[in-house]
Amino acid sequence: MKIAIDAMGGDFAPENIVKGVNLAKKELSDVTFQLYGDGAKIRQFLDDETNIEIVETTEIIDFHDDPVAAIKSKKDSSLVRAVTAVKKGEADAVLSAGSTGALLTAGLLLVKRIKQVSRPALMSTLPTADGRGFDMLDLGANTENTAHHLVDFAILGSYYAENVRGINKPRVALISNGAEESKGSPTVKEAHEILSAMSEINFIGNIESRDLLSGGADVVVTDGFTGNAILKAIEGTATVLMKEIKSAIMAGSVTTKIGGALIKKPLSVLKDLMSTDGAGGAAFVGLKAPVVKAHGNSSELAIASALKQIHKMLESDVSGKLVEHFEKMDK
């Protein structure tokens, strides 16, 4: 299998991207890594060229570029060329740590939606106290969603959790303002009714956002506006608390050594929330092939983790299975 990689996207590109490939290469011997970007710069960080293809590109899309305009004007950018490789069948999946907006737009225009999926969604795996984790979508690919979009998200998330994370009959829940089925906006109530009648997914009803990190569900479905707000509220809370713990240590009310131990080991959820090293990237689901966005400030570990995630997506053929699922619904 071939993974196209935007080597020039992200805060620490190409260094962390290429070093992440060096790491992933050791474990994924059946993958060809196609690196799109400035060859000379890429080679500076590359261990060796086994299973590597370097594709020269001349442009870079950065965070200031308007996503839609950049896709059209910077056709020789590492991001557009990497996504185009999937479109042309020259690669099976694509990874970028560059502009989220540009990757979503390029994915939608070039890789294209699965027929019958009305809206693709952005999905990440978040940590839970029990180590199992949960997938949440949509995290902000959309700003408004209908009940039918939410139902599609439930199917996309369920297939992902089962095939990529290996969870048997993943528990799928819908974010609402109460666990009872009578709770929610009209959109949520409508989605609840449709999901309750579906036999192909293990729908467990509504979930409140306070029960996410304690492991209340394996797949958490919500509209892109709410999902984005929940994700950032969790991140913001973790960040502020981490800062408070650190300043407590610095203030000397706790010795450095003990404080350090407290941060390192027991607060695993906090650590997982603060780091993208092991979490993989955000998958743009609902497209015909895996399109994965790594965080802009990804370390080499985070890039390697995202590549392993893509490897699992390709190995399990989750995108192919989803195409098939939605084709059946079409009949």
Contact positions vs a copy of itself (CB under 8 A): 129, 140, 143-144, 175, 177, 183-186, 188, 208-214, 222, 224-226, 228-230, 232-241, 243-245, 247-248, 251, 253-255, 258-259, 261-262, 265-270, 273
Shortest separation between residue 255's beta carbon and a copy of itself, angstroms: 7
CA–CA separation, 162 vs 279, rounded Å?
Answer: 17
- Cβ count within 10 A of residue 13: 24
Residue 51 vs 239, nearer CB to a copy of itself = 239
Residue 271 vs 308, nearer CB to a copy of itself = 271
Shortest separation between residue 37's beta carbon and a copy of itself, angstroms: 27
**What are residue 207's phi and psi, to 5 degrees?**
-135, 145
CA–CA separation, 271 vs 126, rounded Å?
Answer: 11
Residue 226 vs 309, nearer CB to a copy of itself = 226
- Determine if the peptide bond prior to 186 is cis (ω within 30°): no
Shortest separation between residue 261's beta carbon and a copy of itself, angstroms: 6
Residue 27 vs 193, nearer CB to a copy of itself = 193
- Cβ count within 10 A of residue 251: 9
Residue 56 vs 208, nearer CB to a copy of itself = 208
Question: What phi-psi label fits residue 10: left (phi over 0), alpha (psi between -120 and 50 degrees) or beta?
Answer: left
Helices (H), 34-117: 39-45, 67-73, 78-87, 100-106
Shortest separation between residue 194's beta carbon and a copy of itself, angstroms: 18
Shortest separation between residue 176's beta carbon and a copy of itself, angstroms: 8
